[in-house]
Amino acid sequence: MEALFIPLSLLAGGLLAVQAGANTQLSKATGSPFVATTIQVSIAGALLLAIAIVLGTGFALAKLPSAPWWHAIGGIATAIYVASTILLFPRLGAIVTVGLFIAGQMATSLGLDTFGLLGVPRQPPNAAAIIGALAVLIGAAAIVLGQKGATRELAVSKIGWIALALLAGAVLPIQGAINGLLRADIGAPFVVGAVSFAVATASMIAVLLLTGLLARTPKPAPGGLMQMPWWGWIGALCGATYVTTMFTAIPVVGTAGAVGLTVAGQQIASLFVDRYGWFRLPRRDVPALRYAGVVMLLIGVGLIQVF
């Protein structure tokens, strides 16, 4: 089973880079990144529910009222992560923000594994796993520092935004663990994913209302959807794959392993996206330090998995 989840987790991470490109097109088409994300998570939830019905596991929804309420709120993390991304990218830069996300993910995943929190099997790290986690963090730092202007963005005056980035990264492993608890309650992974995205949709609607009231953001212009390329819609599939893979992989490969594999997959795919300008995104030179950072990520993940 572990041999299956290693490539699947890498693929799920790689799809996050694809999701980012698709969501960018959807944001342009709707005129609002918050509207785009709301559309995306609602489609992902509907897709997973449809799969559950086709597979004959839709009846598991009837078990939801008997589950502890907090086992069903994992989808809130999606809203926190997405809203933080939109707030942080213009303030810290995309590369620095992603690096901080990775740091938050790894720190939380190690805590979940070490102490066996939120139903995660207790796996106290040995020396090799600790070295592997440090290698992942060093790789993330190299990816950040390999981009021009990265050190300038990490100013002391932005400590609050840096803390938010770490928090936004930290909620992703927690989401996977909570969704794992819900799976133990109702037993149907696609139904769990559908519930998670239903909560994410409700959370994003709340974010939309809040930003509309407080920030007085421009009204979205959904008329651009007709001109959007077809692949602008595949972000929902990518997100559904990632969320479902995370909570099914964590019991098998551990939280740190699942996070490390998805992060590595995301960074490998991002290299191609940046280098060749896929999904209509700007082409960027990829410095040697960033390549080295990705290699260090893979070494770190390998140490966590093997030992």
Give the span between the Cα atoms of 231 and 118, in whole angstroms: 36
pLDDT band at 223 (very low <50, low <70, confident <90, very high): low
Query: What mean pLDDT comes out for the span 288-302?
Result: 81
| Identity of the highest mean pLDDT range in 38-42, 116-120, 228-232, 303-307 | 38-42
Which band of pLDDT confidence, cut at 50, 70 and 90, is reported for residue 64?
Answer: very high
Sign of the four-CA dihedral 64, 68, 72, 73 = positive
242 pLDDT more than 80: yes
Average pLDDT rounded to a whole number, residues 291-299: 82
pLDDT of residue 25: 84
Domain count, the chain: 1
pLDDT bracket for residue 306 (50, 70, 90): low
Residue 26's domain spans which residues? 2-306
Tens digit of each residue's pLDDT (9 = 90 or more) over 115-157? 888 888 888 777 877 888 888 788 877 776 766 555 555 555 6
Instruction: Write down the pLDDT at residue 177.
Output: 93
Task: Write down the pLDDT at residue 167.
Answer: 93
